[in-house]
Amino acid sequence: MIKIDLIVGARPNFMKIAPIIHALERVNNTEPLIKYRLIHTGQHYDANMSETFFQQLEIPKPAFNLNVGSGTQAEQTAGIMVGYEKLLLEDKSDLCMVVGDVTSTMACAISARKLLVPVAHVEGGIRSGDETMPEEINRMVTDSITNYFFTTSEIANENLRRFGVKDQNIFFVGNTMIDTLLKNRARFIKPEIWDKLNLNEKEYIVLTLHRPSNVDEEAKLKDLIDEIIAHSHNLPLIFPVHPRTAKIIAGLGITHPRLYMIKPQGYLEFNYLVERCKAVITDSGGITEEATVMGVPCMTLRDNTERSETITIGTNELIGVNPKAIKPSLDKLFQGNWKKGAIPDLWDGETSDRIVHHLLQIFKYE
Ligand code: UD1
């Protein structure tokens, strides 16, 4: 029996881990080969940032919650490392599986490797080159001590090879976030805001902003929102607001009759909105992947991305963070000139099964 720890901490982890758990359970139904314990670090703790996702995505209750809560980068990292180390000292696993690039990902990878527990990184190898983002540091540190890399693209494979990772440790499997998207697409839920505003398909824009570089500077956040409002052709802007952004916006007093700031949505409600909107304007990484698969025009308010296939293949474009760049992009959208895009290789809903198959091979069960 293989003993695996599955680590989650923040919202974008939940949709990446859910299909892996379901794939493990499918294998175990035939023959119990992999025992897993799901560990929530508690980085995200609000019900609408965490619990809702467990319910909607049918993720079992975590075996442990490290309850780290909010804090500075170092406080969160340290708290998670200490909490997870304690668990490992009491009961060691054969593998620590981390996903994505949040602080919980890096912290648990470090604790595991220091106790000689190998690390598997799902979504390993991606890089934005922007070391001012905490996520890039998390990616670099995690990948520098990862043993098994489960990757989403050939670009990620190339990055890893360049860093000297051997091919036998790179498993190009696709994107588990897309497993979740494809599995749930038929059961997206119409959110409250839809009927409240009488929304129509392709007649509203979805906006999300939470990167410190966009939201922590008040004047810039206000300029970005003002420009989007000014050039969105009178369409309603549906803006589910991340807690970080909410705190800042509350102080700024931004309001506009077409700007609908709503609480963070559940997974099924949020993607209902994305699937039907005219376009998404975002600074998230994961949303650019989901928009690509659903063929929805996506504008990214960042200067770089670690997911460049969403641009070269998908529907995403980097707009940058200068508010003046918003008008030309929205003009292009409204002139009907946005690219159509295609779906990257292996983003097919089967990624988690591939991962579990590789795990069985790594541990010589196949
Ligand atoms: C984290 C991830 C980011 C991801 C984002 C998605 C890191 C470095 N960043 O950023 O990659 O895109 O999650 O949401 O790991 N807060 C609450 N309730 C919560 C969680 C947070 O109010 O449940 C507040 C915190 O008090 C803090 C802010 O939100 O002020 C930021 O939370 P934090 O976990 O530090 O990082 P995120 O910005 O959410």
Whose Cα sits closest to atom 7 in ligand 1?
102
Q: Ligand 1, residue 49: give the atom nearest the CA.
A: 23
pLDDT in tens, 95-132: 999 999 999 999 999 999 999 999 999 999 999 999 99
Buried b / exposed e across 221-256, counting CB within 10 Å, b at 16+? bbbbbebbbeebeebbbbbbbbeebeebbeeeebee
Q: How far is the CA of 244 from the centre of ligand 1 (A)?
A: 7
Q: How far is the CA of 191 from the centre of ligand 1 (A)?
A: 23
User: Does the CB atom of residue 11 touch ligand 1 within 6 A?
Assistant: yes
Res 134: pLDDT:
96
Res 253: pLDDT:
84
pLDDT in tens, 46-66: 999 999 999 999 999 999 999
Q: How far is the CA of 317 from the centre of ligand 1 (A)?
A: 24
Where is pLDDT greater, at 191 or 366?
191
pLDDT in tens, 290-332: 999 999 999 999 999 999 999 999 999 999 999 999 999 999 9
Pocket test for ligand 1, best of 65, 75, 102 (most atoms within 8 A of CB): 102
Whose Cα sits closest to atom 21 in ligand 1?
44
Whose Cα sits closest to atom 22 in ligand 1?
243
User: Does the CB atom of residue 9 touch ligand 1 within 6 A?
Assistant: no
User: Does the CB atom of residue 322 touch ligand 1 within 6 A?
Assistant: no
Q: What are the C-alpha distances in Å from 1 to residues 7, 29, 34, 110?
A: 19, 14, 6, 24
Q: Using CA atoms, how far apart are residues 245 and 237, in angstroms rounded to an integer?
A: 16
Please indicate whether residue 40 is annotated as part of the active site.
Answer: no
User: Does the CB atom of residue 12 touch ligand 1 within 6 A?
Assistant: yes
Asked if residue 216 has pLDDT above 90, the reply is no
Q: Ligand 1, residue 210: give the atom nearest the CA.
A: 38
Amino acid type, 204? Y
Q: How far is the CA of 101 from the centre of ligand 1 (A)?
A: 12
Pocket test for ligand 1, best of 244, 283, 301, 307 (most atoms within 8 A of CB): 244
Whose Cα sits closest to atom 25 in ligand 1?
70
Q: Using CA atoms, how far apart are residues 7 and 294, in angstroms rounded to an integer?
A: 28
pLDDT mean across residues, the chain: 96
Res 235: pLDDT:
98
Among 22, 121, 210, 242, the one annotated catalytic: 210
Q: Ligand 1, residue 46: give the atom nearest the CA.
A: 23
Asked if residue 212 has pLDDT above 90, the reply is no
